[in-house]
Structures are given as structure tokens and as C-alpha cells.
Amino acid sequence: GESVGLHLPTLSVQEGDNSIINCAYSNSASDYFIWYKQESGKGPQFIIDIRSNMDKRQGQRVTVLLNKTVKHLSLQIAATQPGDSAVYFCAESRSGAGSYQLTFGKGTKLSVIP
């Protein structure tokens, strides 16, 4: 069935380096995407979102890129810090479906090496 998935299950980066977390989605009808950060024992924390009429959106130290042609989403974290260590999920939804539901991938674990 259609789903959202991630290319890499784990990612280790040096503190201060930039991190890139990738996500592939297969539902071409998806028109809204969110990145979440989840620390151990906590609920997902909203990081940044992007709508399908955009291809880039920037937040504080984070940038989300959307490539609809290849159905690919990425999260870039600048100057990665130890506090960025967590599991990152991308989630997608589509308007007009009658309900607002998010479909999540399995997640990528980001480990920051001090």
C-alpha cells in the first residue's frame, strides 16, 4: 500500500556539522508534510511543515525541501547540536480526504557525536 518511508534508519554526525534526513513518499495525492522530532519517552515534537505548493521552507536552524517530481522530502539541520539527538519522523497528509490524518514513516535516529 502507499506509505511514507525513510531512506536511512540511523544517522551519526559530528557536533557542529549539518545533518540531512531524507524521506520518500509514495502517495502522489499528499499535499502537506510535517517533520517531527521524538525524544525517548516523549511525544513527537513539531519541527516544521511544508505544503505542496512550496519546494523549500526555512525555520530556525532547519530547512525542509520538497521535490514533488521524485516524491522526496528532506530535513536539513544546520550546526547539529547534542540536543538534536532523537528520532525524526516525516508525516504526510492530503486535503479533501474527509479527515485530517497523518501517515508516518518508521523514523530516522539521529546521533550527534560530541
Partner 1 sequence: DAGVTQSPTHLIKTRGQQVTLRCSPISGHKSVSWYQQVLGQGPQFIFQYYEKEERGRGNFPDRFSARQFPNYSSELNVNALLLGDSALYLCASSNGQPNTEAFFGQGTRLTVV
Q: Is 49 helix (H, G, I), strand (E, B) or coil?
A: strand
Residue span 14-53 as binding mask against partner 1, x where in contact by CB under 8 A, dash where not: -----------------xx-x-x----xxxxxx--x-x--
Work out how close the CB of 53 gets to partner 1 at its nearest, in angstroms, rounded to a whole number.
10
Work out how close the CB of 105 gets to partner 1 at its nearest, in angstroms, rounded to a whole number.
6
Q: Closer CB to partner 1, residue 80 or residue 105?
A: 105
| Separation of alpha carbons 20 and 40, rounded Å | 21
Contacts with partner 1 by CB under 8 A: the residue count is 28
CB atoms < 10 A from the CB of 43, how many? 7
Enumerate residues 55-114 that contact partner 1 by CB under 8 A: 89, 91, 93, 95-107
Q: Closer CB to partner 1, residue 5 or residue 78?
A: 5
Pair 31, 52: CB distance under 8 Å: yes
Q: What is the 8-class DSSP label of residue 83?
A: G
Spatial neighbors of 70 by CB under 8 A, at least 6 apart, are none
Cell (9 digits) for 85: 539527538
Chain residues binding partner 1 by CB under 8 A are 31-32, 34, 36, 41-46, 49, 51, 89, 91, 93, 95-107
